[in-house]
Chain A
């Protein structure tokens, strides 16, 4: 049902749409993604007003390497949808949806922190779980789990205050 409505409404914007184990998944191109997601949020037949989750999967050997995965839920209609965008390793960026759902603010920061995928248009894209001098993006498959990090130089907070306005 949802699959048919999506196919009918978006046509060629959706590269693939499928329903496995009662879960609908749609694959969108990066260029059309922001428009498609905006329509999914705003149109009354869809009303995906709740962004459940925003994350990425690193398919190391595959082209495109990354999948940015959005899990959407409609609190009014009750249906759920997974939207995926394929992202190349050479150009790891997608458009930010923090203007559509405020939940994306922190979720995109975490995705950037862990995978190194940039979200264009995000108001404040910086690391969130790891410290800012961390090198690398740990959830990528080419980052070994037991890699050690360089020691962070100690900085005197009195002579070098962290906050730029002090």
Chain B
């Protein structure tokens, strides 16, 4: 891919007998978590300039969504931020529901919140676990991945799959929670607590960890806002912006939770913010499980929800309803909507345009970690090569979301 125009300038090394080294930290690198290329100009160990190349996982999500029906977009949304797929499903479903002017039933909203929060914890565990592992804290990595395994068991119980869940539908969810979900959730969370306590003891006041992370990759609040950062990257800089509080959706306005913020906007604060967010997400999930009412899990509107199989197989109307919804798709009225949800990386926005047919006209995903990668150049200049690992790990670039 093309390099920026400024790359042809000859820069002076700080040692007059030396010269600037140009090196590519290629798309497949054992220490970088994802397919990203860093074109670096190095003065010894210090980074003088860095051009970040993304796009190695670009699969044409937005183009493919236009080719199928509305419901056929859900498997595509799974593969966006694949560390927290439920949140992507929920975001897209909410956008389409706003265009339709319908609201999912109460129970469905509570279930969506529970699964979103579990997904958020899983995402943070992935990010922090891999970041700690890349810095050398192997035990922390394995503890967090063990905790994540238990959450994947919960996903599998509720949706049928560990990662690519395709679980939301327009107007509801595909299946209800299993009978023993509450017990499984409680036991998973107890185990999670114990593991998180261990990780806290291992890292938070660890001299090596603080030396690697504190003061590195600093973004001030104003810069972070200008770069469009959101989520833990912005909150680490001290700006308390969380979509769940700023524009509440689902039943987040009934949940009591705090939004942890940092002070200095460095990697250490980003770690701490994600760590504390896991505890807050756990609180939300438990409150939602307690308050969850009984009821339907999909809106009872035959223009939107598939009829039950008994009706499909035993009546011609049911058969026709099923056929039209599958073959032509849900007829969403013409219009546009921008629905933002709080993804694990920040403001995950879905800008959906409909032309009135059963196929989307335009589906745009506002990817939070894409903007984080745009700011990476600013965070790295002046630091050293090992700091790339730490900073890049804390941005939590998920290839599926960044490149789509």
A71 touches B353 (CB 8 A): no
Question: Is A8 in the interface zone, CB < 8 Å from B?
Answer: no
Q: Which residues, 24 to 55 on A, are CB-close (under 8 Å) to B? A: 25, 49-53, 55
Q: Which residues, 1 to 51 on B, are CB-close (under 8 Å) to A? A: 1-10, 22, 39
Question: Is B260 in the interface zone, CB < 8 Å from A?
Answer: no
Q: How far is the CB of A68 from chain B (nearest CB, A)?
A: 12
Smallest CB-CB separation from B223: which chain A residue? Answer: A102
Question: Is B330 in the interface zone, CB < 8 Å from A?
Answer: no
B241 touches A55 (CB 8 A): no
B1 touches A105 (CB 8 A): no
Chain B neighbourhood of A107, CB < 8 A: 228, 371, 374
Q: How far is the CB of A50 from chain B (nearest CB, A)?
A: 6
Decide: A50 near B225, CB < 8 A? Known: A75-B239, A127-B2. Answer: yes
Tally of chain A residues near chain B (CB < 8 A): 42
In the bound assembly, the distance between CA atoms of A80 and B67 in angstroms comes to 30
Chain B neighbourhood of A75, CB < 8 A: 225, 239, 241, 246
B67 touches A23 (CB 8 A): no
Question: Is B318 in the interface zone, CB < 8 Å from A?
Answer: no
Give the contact stretch, choosing among B56-64, B72-80, B204-212.
B56-64
Smallest CB-CB separation from B3: which chain A residue? Answer: A163
Q: How far is the CB of A148 from chain B (nearest CB, A)?
A: 13
Chain A neighbourhood of B178, CB < 8 A: none
In the bound assembly, the distance between CA atoms of A166 and B223 in angstroms comes to 33
B353 touches A162 (CB 8 A): no
In the bound assembly, the distance between CA atoms of A129 and B239 in angstroms comes to 30
Decide: A52 near B340, CB < 8 A? Known: A127-B2, A130-B58. Answer: yes
**A interface residues, Cβ below 8 angstroms from B:** 20-21, 23, 25, 49-53, 55, 57-58, 69, 71, 75, 78, 80, 82, 101-103, 105-107, 110, 114, 124, 126-132, 138-139, 145, 162-166
Top 3 nearest A-B pairs (CB, nearest first) are A103-B228, A164-B8, A106-B374
